[in-house]
């Protein structure tokens, strides 16, 4: 079966170590779009952190999609329409906020084009701000401030501390939230059942395509679900070992045009 849709994680996958799309990878993606294939950018990033890359790749012109917040929101780039969204239940925020404070880790979410937090700003929040090109807005009383829909929260901190917190939160919220690390220093707190695979299933239904027609490429813990789900699951050479073990194919690294290699091997 021919592959019709190419799903790309961003950091460590589409972009190189400089957080840039190389010329070779860019040209390869433009070629598959010109041939009628759909491209989806699927990331833990908030939507504003993905839009500049979607614009560079001309996804609006070629009918591509953005899957942001690890799948909590899907946007049709052609018209900006939200075709799927799930929001986080705000009733859980006080408990999550207290847990972060007790363990001296940060907690953040997003408002418009800003990262919002009442935690002391740590180096990991600065990474999140820099990656997405959006500022950090310091607020007072995180749970009280958020009186609007949010798609996820993110805990930031020392990997060893987050490794201890993760199973506790998973056990406490197992019936209500989806919790996992996207990076050793990022603990994602998502609506129940939300991950990249679940949301890609929604997108495929919308497009009338099957998962056998999809290639998904990634490098991080939060890419495992879509790598296992896709007809062709691809891990980057720079991926975590657990991610590689789940993949059908291991391509070159993000600094060696691994995505261009996948396109040449399986789509052209």
Compute φ and ψ for 52, nearest 5 degrees: -60, -35
pTM of model > 0.95? no
How many Å apart are CA 27 and CA 97, to the nearest integer? Answer: 44
With tokens 């940060």, the residue in question is: 106
pLDDT at residue 124 greater than cutoff 80: yes
The token duo for 253 is 């690294």
Work out the average pLDDT over 156-164. 97
Work out the average pLDDT over 92-118. 97
Q: What is the pLDDT of residues 227-247, one digit of tens each?
A: 999 999 999 999 989 999 999
Q: What is the model's pLDDT at position 1?
A: 65
pLDDT averaged over every residue in the chain = 96
pLDDT at residue 194 greater than cutoff 90: yes
Q: What is the pLDDT of residues 125-155, one digit of tens each?
A: 999 999 999 999 999 999 999 999 999 999 9
Cα Rg of the chain (Å, integer): 18
pLDDT at residue 182 greater than cutoff 90: no
Q: Which segments of the chain does DSSP mark as H helices, in order?
A: 23-34, 47-56, 59-62, 93-102, 123-132, 142-145, 159-172, 196-207, 224-229, 241-246, 258-266
Work out the average pLDDT over 107-111. 98
Percent of the chain with pLDDT over 90: 96
Q: What is the model's pLDDT at position 176?
A: 96
């Amino acid at each position: 079966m021919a592959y019709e849709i190419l799903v790309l994680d961003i950091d460590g996958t589409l972009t190189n170590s400089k957080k840039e799309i190389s010329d070779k990878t860019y040209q390869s993606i433009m070629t598959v779009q010109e041939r009628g294939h759909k491209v989806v950018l699927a990331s833990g990033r908030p939507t504003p952190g993905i839009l500049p890359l979607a614009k560079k790749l001309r996804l609006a012109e070629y009918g591509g999609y953005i899957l942001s917040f690890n799948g909590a929101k899907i946007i049709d780039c052609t018209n900006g329409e939200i075709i799927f969204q799930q929001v986080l239940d705000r009733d859980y925020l006080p408990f999550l906020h207290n847990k972060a404070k007790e363990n001296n880790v940060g907690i953040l979410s997003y408002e418009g084009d800003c990262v919002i937090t009442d935690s002391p700003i740590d180096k990991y929040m600065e990474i999140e701000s820099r990656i997405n090109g959006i500022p950090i807005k310091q607020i007072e009383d995180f749970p009280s401030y958020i009186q609007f829909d949010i798609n996820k929260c993110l805990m930031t901190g020392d990997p060893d501390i987050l490794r201890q917190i993760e199973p506790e939160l998973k056990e406490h919220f197992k019936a209500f939230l989806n919790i996992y690390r996207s990076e050793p220093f990022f603990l994602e707190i998502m609506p129940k059942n939300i991950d990249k695979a679940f949301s890609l299933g929604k997108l495929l239904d919308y497009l009338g395509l099957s998962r056998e027609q999809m290639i998904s490429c990634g490098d991080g813990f939060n890419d495992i679900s879509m790598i296992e789900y896709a007809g062709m699951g691809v891990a980057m050479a720079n991926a975590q070992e657990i991610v590689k073990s789940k993949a059908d194919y291991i391509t070159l690294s993000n600094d060696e045009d691994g995505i261009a290699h996948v396109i040449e091997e399986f789509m052209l």
